[in-house]
Amino acid sequence: MEKIIDENKQGQAFVIESKSKSTRKLFLESYGCQMNFSDSEIVASILAKEGFSTTQNLEDADLVLVNTCSIRDKAEQTIRKRLEKYNAVKRINTGMKVGVLGCMAERLKKKFLEEEKIVDLVVGPDAYKDLPNLIKEVDAGREAVNVILSKDETYGDIAPVRLGGNGVSAFVSITRGCDNMCTFCVVPFTRGRERSRAPESILNEIKDLSEKGYKEVTLLGQNVDSYLWYGGGLKKNFKEASEIQKATATNFSELLAMVAQAEPKMRFRFSTSNPQDMTLEVLHTMSEYSNICNYIHLPVQSGSTRILTEMNRQHTREEYKSLIDNVRSIIPDCAISQDMITGFPTETEADHKDTLSLMEYVKYDFGFMFMYSERPGTMAARKLEDDVPLDIKKRRLTEIVSAQRKHSAYRTKQYIGETVEVLIEKQSKKSDAHWSGRTPQNTVAVFPKEGYKVGDFVNVKIASSTSATLIGEALGYSVNN
């Protein structure tokens, strides 16, 4: 199942019920990564306490908030178009206020107010607790901008309002920011330095989800494998921590074991792993606990060591391959997915062939593939010319997408005749007589509904497959049900 993330896809709008009597209506929309969707649940929680109730009708809104993405230029263009739409509505509903949240807010800061006259409020990813004050500023006719990045996890004490989900799987953030400084990436600028969240706070949120009937949790961070709790603060300051803090620190492998033990009936996933930070200890923990899903999203970006160096990725092609070999030997049935960028500056045909041959070696289960998009302020933008012509970027993208489609089909085919455990998430899009869910390997499986319901763990015998989907029949509940 190759997935080209399309930032043009409609942002999702959500409805929450506010307990307090409210006169103000919020329209909240999210674009971009899972972290943004997760952050919007925090925003919803903060504003519900302020008496906002949400609406799915833009026309009814007193306040419109859009959680934005800066990862590629196309993502930003999508938001600009959305602002035009808000503008058209604001012409009729003149009292409506518009706020921009997330990475674009952080990147453009006050400039946003100048560039887009419709915007009243600019709030970066670490400043959502300030929203109530900022809204008061806007109400008083003043400018409202807060893009201060934090040294701490920031939102550990807020119980997110679960928005638009299926009531079965949820995201729980465990780290914020990124210290990796890949030369193409805007995230370190928009989300700040890396910091981890206290294990107790993570465990509490998971316990609460379990009590509410959730069956699967994805631990979220830009670089989850570099999770390190030593009592708070930035990861880069760990060197200066006390001896006691160092001795009692919790790393990602330990955190995984803690959550898996605390909720043995719950499935756990995590995203995203960066190759250089993924340890063998994590792989062993995954193989030890059956409720940690055998699936790793392991972006590589390129199969060429020369390009990886230009990207400031902290590993070579060979090191990545040996990590893949370790995954295969420690967790034989582990699914692996990739992120890939085509047309990074200076990429030659030989580099591109290296990417294709690496893909052939790994045969990823699925992948997310993109053309390089130069981001202002990044090291690549400052030091390297965006010199691969668009038609070549496009052709290379088409080639890796078709390689991925072939590998995905190869992977799904291996399940034919096998019995897999599926957690039912929703009705199949194609048939109201079928359920759709995912295997631990994150592959979508569909099967006739019979007497099962959303949230059940079911053993499904696979009869056929497409490149993205397994098709089978339920044999009964799995032991985890």
Which chain residues interact with ligand F3S by CB under 6 A? 178, 180-182, 185, 187-188, 222-223, 274
Q: Among residues 78 and 180, whose Cβ is nearest to ligand F3S?
A: 180
CB of 126 to ligand SAH, least distance (A): 17
72 binds ligand SAH (CB under 6 A): yes
375 binds ligand SAH (CB under 6 A): yes
Alpha-carbon distance 27 to 55, whole Å? Answer: 5
227 binds ligand SAH (CB under 6 A): no
Site string for ligand SAH, 176-195 (x = CB under 6 A): --------xx-x--------
223 binds ligand SAH (CB under 6 A): yes
Q: Among residues 364 and 370, whose Cβ is nearest to ligand SAH?
A: 370
Give the one entry of ligand F3S, ligand SAH, none that residue 97 binds, where binding means its C-beta sits below a cut-off of 5 to 8 angstroms depending on kind. Answer: none
Give the one entry of ligand SAH, ligand F3S, none that residue 188 binds, where binding means its C-beta sits below a cut-off of 5 to 8 angstroms depending on kind. Answer: ligand F3S
- A 10 A CB-CB count for 29 gives 21
CB of 340 to ligand F3S, least distance (A): 12
Task: Name 58's Cβ contacts closer than 8 Å, sequence gap at least 6.
Answer: 13, 27, 64, 85, 86, 89
Q: Among residues 371 and 445, whose Cβ is nearest to ligand SAH?
A: 371
Concatenated DSSP letters for 296-337?
A: EE---B-S-HHHHHHTT-SS-HHHHHHHHHHHHHHSTT-EEE
Q: Among residues 297 and 438, whose Cβ is nearest to ligand SAH?
A: 297
End-to-end CA distance of the chain: 27
Q: Which of the stretches 359-367, 371-379, 435-443, 456-464 binds ligand SAH when contact is defined by CB under 6 A?
A: 371-379
Instruction: Name which of residues 97 to 156 contact ligand SAH (CB under 6 A).
Output: none
38 binds ligand SAH (CB under 6 A): no
Q: Which residues pair with 38 in a beta bridge?
A: none
Task: Name 384's Cβ contacts closer than 8 Å, sequence gap at least 6.
Answer: 183, 310, 345, 346
Q: H or E element: which one contains 104? A: helix 103-108
Give the one entry of ligand F3S, ligand SAH, none that residue 372 binds, where binding means its C-beta sits below a cut-off of 5 to 8 angstroms depending on kind. Answer: ligand SAH
Give the one entry of ligand SAH, ligand F3S, none that residue 341 binds, where binding means its C-beta sits below a cut-off of 5 to 8 angstroms depending on kind. Answer: ligand SAH
Q: Among residues 89 and 341, whose Cβ is nearest to ligand SAH?
A: 341
- Least Cα distance to 407 among 467, 348, 351 occurs for 467
**Could you tell me where the beta strands, DSSP code E, fall in 244-396?**
250-251, 267-271, 295-297, 335-342, 366-371
Question: What are phi and psi for residue 434, nearest 5 degrees?
Answer: -120, 145
Question: What are phi and psi for residue 32, nearest 5 degrees?
Answer: 95, -140
Q: Six-digit token pair at 433?
A: 């007589």
- Least Cα distance to 144 among 160, 130, 159 occurs for 130
Q: Among residues 68 and 436, whose Cβ is nearest to ligand F3S?
A: 68
Q: Six-digit token pair at 476?
A: 């009964």
Give the one entry of ligand F3S, ligand SAH, none that residue 72 binds, where binding means its C-beta sits below a cut-off of 5 to 8 angstroms depending on kind. Answer: ligand SAH
Beta strand 121-123 with 144-146 is: parallel
Candidate list 45, 301, 302, 465; residue touching ligand SAH; CB under 6 A: 301
Candidate list 65, 341, 359, 460; residue touching ligand SAH; CB under 6 A: 341
Please give the residue ranges that form the binding site for ligand SAH (CB under 6 A): 71-72, 184-185, 187, 222-223, 272, 299, 301, 339, 341, 370, 372-373, 375
